[in-house]
Amino acid sequence: MSKSARELVFATNNPHKLLEVQHILGESFKLLSLQDINLTEEIPEDHDTLEKNALQKAWYIYNKSAVSCFADDTGLEVDALDGKPGVYSARYAGEGKNSKDNIKKLLKELQGVKNRKARFRTVIALIVDGNEHLFEGIVNGLIIDYERGEDGFGYDPIFQPDGFSLTFAQMPLDQKNDISHRARAVNHLADFLMKQ
Ligand code: IMP
């Protein structure tokens, strides 16, 4: 890491996410986790859109620590369900339920439904010098009707990105990271930061 790397707080304590995003941003930036800045309390995230949640988290950190920071929020938006589960993707089957339960509920709701189009959408909210900026990353695909693959997390076993015959859960991680919603949003963030 170069000495002049700019420090940026990423609203996560997930070391995998931190590494993945650090890799995309490169050496000009040094990412700090919430733990690194001793922010241990739970950050509120109670809005009804990805944009509002990402902004809420980023402003919360900025107001506490006054450092440049960004937060992300992701949802799976299914056309036939008017964009659901969307912002509620993590707890679609209810509080305390897991990804398997979420998948089960989604497949049940899509039983017999022909239109299987869906997208993962990530929104990143960045706050620099008190100004907010939003970035979006989308990957379009289909919800298949049974689980395929062991890797990944969340809805990966039932999401097949357009142009591929594998689900996200069947792809090597590098391949998923090349085309994923999160990577696309982070690339937009990186383009913006490089120009600053
Ligand atoms: P988060 O905003 O990254 O925490 O994502 C919210 C929820 O969306 C997660 O709990 C997962 O259910 C789902 N999700 C986000 N990203 C992915 C992904 O890459 N694959 C599958 N599910 C995902």
21 ligand 1 Cβ < 6 A: no
Residue 58 class from Cβ within 10 Å (0-12 exposed, 13-18 middle, 19+ buried)? buried
- Establish whether residue 77 lines the binding site of ligand 1, counting it when its CB lies within 6 angstroms of any ligand atom: no
CATH classification for the domain delimited by 6-194, as one of 3.90.950.10, 3.40.50.2300, 1.10.540.10, 3.40.47.10: 3.90.950.10
Task: Quote the mean pLDDT of the chain.
Answer: 94
Are 20 and 187 within 8 A, CB to CB? no
Tens-digit pLDDT profile for residues 22-54: 988 889 999 999 999 999 999 999 999 999 999
Q: Domain residue spans in the chain? A: 6-194
pLDDT of amino acid 5: 84
Residue 74, ligand 1, Cβ within 6 A: yes
Reading the block at residue 97, the tokens are 């339920």
- Do residues 143 and 158 lie in contact, with contact meaning Cβ atoms separated by under 8 Å? yes
pLDDT at residue 3, as a whole number = 53
* CB-CB contact of 171 with 164 (8 Å): yes
**pLDDT (tens digit, 9 = 90+) per residue, 123-159?**
999 999 999 999 999 999 999 999 999 998 999 999 9
State both tokens at 66: 């006054």
Q: Whose CA is nearest to atom 3 of ligand 1?
A: 74
What is the CA(4)–ligand 1 centre distance, in A?
33
pLDDT for 134 equals 98
In percent, how much of the chain has pLDDT > 90? 87
Query: Is any atom of ligand 1 closer than 6 Å to the C-beta of 12?
Result: no
Residue range 5-24: average pLDDT? Answer: 90
Most ligand 1 atoms within 8 A of CB, residue of 13, 99, 153, 171 to mutate: 153
**Is 73 considered catalytic here?**
yes
What pTM was estimated for this model as a whole?
A: 0.95
Distance CA 61, CA 41 (A): 11
